[in-house]
Amino acid sequence: MTQQFTINKDSILPILRMELIYDGRHDFNKFWDAIQDADITFTMTNVDTKVIKIANAPCYIKLREEDVCVDQYVICYEWKKRDTKERGVYEGVFTINFNGNITNESGISYPKGDLIMPIREKLFIVIQ
């Protein structure tokens, strides 16, 4: 399975957004606390040439605008003009680097290390 995001050449809109999947098996509130202290980056590689177009560019998290009971966030990357200068198909990857600096009220530290997104399916960006 794959996800596809399409953007026009030389465009900076729409913003690339990645939703994290709530699978019901983990405590999502703990995850959101940990992601608040994480460094999030985006890398984009040309599928044909394997040349990296964007390397570890900073991203941010944003509260989802939908009306839901629990706060949910999306990871966002804002395009620069240089990012979309060349047409082609690219694979995109978000890396969440958990710093491990957050400890909950019970004294348990949140994770430390990298999480690569998306997990279940590849993200392809088409610049047309």
Residues of the chain with pLDDT under 70: 21-31, 66-71, 100-111
**Which residues have a Cβ under 8 Å from the Cβ of 75 and sit 6 or more positions away?**
17, 18, 19, 20, 40, 59, 60, 61, 94, 96, 117
The model's pTM: 0.83
The pLDDT of residue 116: 79
